[in-house]
Chain A
């Protein structure tokens, strides 16, 4: 049976590098998950309102008010690389 999963694409999108044996196992796992979703799809949900959230609440807002968090230095200290007040990352210039 041909796999429904393009494991290389999934791995690439998730920034995972997989060994050949892992690819086979994970493809199978993902296929099982999809099969289970297919099973769920068989249920008649035509009278159920679609939901995107587990709790029946809506319209939770905050006021437009500034509060200084003061976490900058703490977070910078825990970054893989810090350069003064900046985070430092490998060089990335898209498109050039």
Chain B
């Protein structure tokens, strides 16, 4: 049996949503021409002076408050010194000992197994239509600190053989680095932590959280130790993680590698490793001898900051309902299972869409099911976001109403939904145009039933003799005959009456 456990901490860099950079007036927008968004300040030219962007500090405090951190009464910036061509000044303005916020936590809900979960264990609801029961456990992940820093430029190696190109557009873009405590115990839990954190950042509207554009990045620190050992093992840092799935896979790989090494009597070297997506493995970076000697010292070009309590209270008031409490409300107010609520709240756009639908007075559980299964699948296939889809909360609620009223069956609704997504037409218009209304006319149904009984004397006889299994076959035949439009409940009742 495996006697080792992993200890994982994550460092997340998130780009704060501002128009201009952290210390200068250059644009932050993605996709500009190389070196277009630059000025003497972010180039670090002599005589230039950085000045803090007010909005950056507000957004950083907002995140700190949402993660239950203490907001530092005194905030200062420091220089982190190292030489690298993506760093024009040969130092990065960051925060060393007086970060914006510290000592917070994030509660995640996860299905990942854990040796010591919090006492409260919640029974996960059943995701309807899937028949799987998922047990979610609450886990508290500590937040060590969240500090501000400027991003570096970008080095490009592709398409050039005799050197590297440098683009300084990102130099000076505002980043908030959120450092977790080493409280994470599995790759799945790391994934759930990242999803929960991203969800909060999106609810707060402080970042686009777009990994492809570099507005969200993650490094992982991993060590292994004997179970029940208090002391931490030697940690290894993993970089170059380009997606949450990559984080999950790299951690899993690293746990195996380190456990194997320790069991084989090797000692783990403290180092930085890179995740190689192609090979699905971590590889050692050639470590530089004094790589970690950053010689931090206070940034003399920036004054210290202290945020008045009234200002902090104003920012606190601007925090919207966060995913965690929205999840609870979805369960109590709409009667959703915990699992359904968790899936719906994860992405604010979906949760907003859901609540817009509910305003049309339709059954919340029905809306939740139709959103999570069919709609999510169809949008995925079409690679469009719900906010950009041709379907609106109002037209979607229209579809649900037709199902509730029995105008169309669920089967027909599955045909109507993609048409709505592709054309933007209402469910009512599509159903009417295609003649898809459910047949509820007793006369018409009886006609179909009589024909089915006549054509299938065997099964009909079996039902008459009390063998109920044959009923399903006959109902199916009636549905087939009516092009799926017959009301299945009525067909059942009428068939039973006729064959009794």
Q: Residues of A with Cβ closer than 8 Å to B?
A: 9, 12-13, 15, 52-55, 57-69, 71-72, 75-76, 81, 83-95
With CB as the reference atom, state the residue of chain A lying closest to B81: A13
Complex interface: chain A residues within 8 A of B85 (CB): 87, 89, 92
Is the Cβ of B35 less than 8 Å from the Cβ of A65? no
B390 at the interface (CB under 8 A from A): no
In the bound complex, CA of A11 to CA of B283 (Å) = 30
B232 at the interface (CB under 8 A from A): no
Complex interface: chain B residues within 8 A of A66 (CB): 19-20, 25-27
B300 at the interface (CB under 8 A from A): yes
With CB as the reference atom, state the residue of chain B lying closest to A6: B290
Q: How far in angstroms is the closest Cβ of chain B from A65?
A: 6
- Partner of A65 from the list B20, B33, B166 (CB cut-off 8 Å) is B20
With CB as the reference atom, state the residue of chain A lying closest to B58: A64
Q: A59-B306, A88-B165, A89-B166 are in contact. List 11 more A-B contacts (CB 8 A).
A: A58-B304, A62-B25, A62-B54, A64-B18, A64-B19, A65-B20, A71-B43, A83-B163, A86-B156, A87-B166, A95-B284
The answer to whether A69 and B163 touch (CB under 8 A), given A13-B290, A53-B300, is no
Q: How far in angstroms is the closest Cβ of chain A from B269?
A: 15
Complex interface: chain A residues within 8 A of B20 (CB): 64-67
In the bound complex, CA of A69 to CA of B20 (Å) = 12
In the bound complex, CA of A83 to CA of B299 (Å) = 33
Complex interface: chain B residues within 8 A of A93 (CB): 157, 164
Scan residues 16-44 of chain B and give those whose CB is less than 8 A from a CB of chain A. 18-20, 25-27, 33-36, 38-40, 43
With CB as the reference atom, state the residue of chain B lying closest to A85: B34
Query: Chain B interface: which size bin?
Result: 35 or more
Complex interface: chain A residues within 8 A of B36 (CB): 72, 85
B473 at the interface (CB under 8 A from A): no
With CB as the reference atom, state the residue of chain B lying closest to A59: B305
Q: How far in angstroms is the closest Cβ of chain A from B59?
A: 10
In the bound complex, CA of A59 to CA of B57 (Å) = 11
Q: Mark B149-184, 1 if CB is under 8 A from A, else 0.
A: 000000111001011111110000000000000000
In the bound complex, CA of A54 to CA of B165 (Å) = 39
- Partner of A91 from the list B51, B164, B285 (CB cut-off 8 Å) is B164
In the bound complex, CA of A42 to CA of B55 (Å) = 42
In the bound complex, CA of A20 to CA of B303 (Å) = 41
B274 at the interface (CB under 8 A from A): yes
Is the Cβ of B52 less than 8 Å from the Cβ of A92? no
- Partner of A62 from the list B51, B156, B303 (CB cut-off 8 Å) is B51
Is the Cβ of A89 less than 8 Å from the Cβ of B164? yes
Complex interface: chain B residues within 8 A of A83 (CB): 160, 163, 165
With CB as the reference atom, state the residue of chain B lying closest to A83: B165
- Partner of A60 from the list B52, B163, B290 (CB cut-off 8 Å) is B52
Is the Cβ of B290 less than 8 Å from the Cβ of A86? no
A/B interface sample: 15 pairs, CB < 8 A? A13-B290, A54-B300, A58-B306, A59-B305, A60-B302, A61-B51, A64-B55, A66-B26, A69-B26, A72-B35, A83-B165, A85-B35, A86-B166, A89-B166, A94-B84
Is the Cβ of B166 less than 8 Å from the Cβ of A88? yes
In the bound complex, CA of A72 to CA of B167 (Å) = 11
Is the Cβ of A60 less than 8 Å from the Cβ of B303? yes
Is the Cβ of B35 less than 8 Å from the Cβ of A87? yes
Is the Cβ of B25 less than 8 Å from the Cβ of A90? no
In the bound complex, CA of A52 to CA of B56 (Å) = 21
With CB as the reference atom, state the residue of chain A lying closest to B52: A61
In the bound complex, CA of A59 to CA of B76 (Å) = 10
B242 at the interface (CB under 8 A from A): no
The answer to whether A88 and B298 touch (CB under 8 A), given A59-B303, A64-B19, A68-B27, is no
Complex interface: chain B residues within 8 A of A13 (CB): 81, 290, 293, 295
Is the Cβ of A81 less than 8 Å from the Cβ of B286? no
B53 at the interface (CB under 8 A from A): yes
In the bound complex, CA of A62 to CA of B50 (Å) = 10
Q: How far in angstroms is the closest Cβ of chain A from B169?
A: 10
Complex interface: chain B residues within 8 A of A95 (CB): 272, 274, 283-286
Complex interface: chain B residues within 8 A of A76 (CB): 35
Is the Cβ of B163 less than 8 Å from the Cβ of A81? yes
In the bound complex, CA of A69 to CA of B168 (Å) = 14
In the bound complex, CA of A33 to CA of B43 (Å) = 31
In the bound complex, CA of A59 to CA of B52 (Å) = 9
The 3 tightest CB contacts between A and B, nearest first, are A95-B285, A69-B39, A52-B298
- Partner of B38 from the list A53, A59, A75 (CB cut-off 8 Å) is A75
Complex interface: chain B residues within 8 A of A52 (CB): 76, 298-300, 304
In the bound complex, CA of A86 to CA of B143 (Å) = 39
Q: How far in angstroms is the closest Cβ of chain B from A25?
A: 22
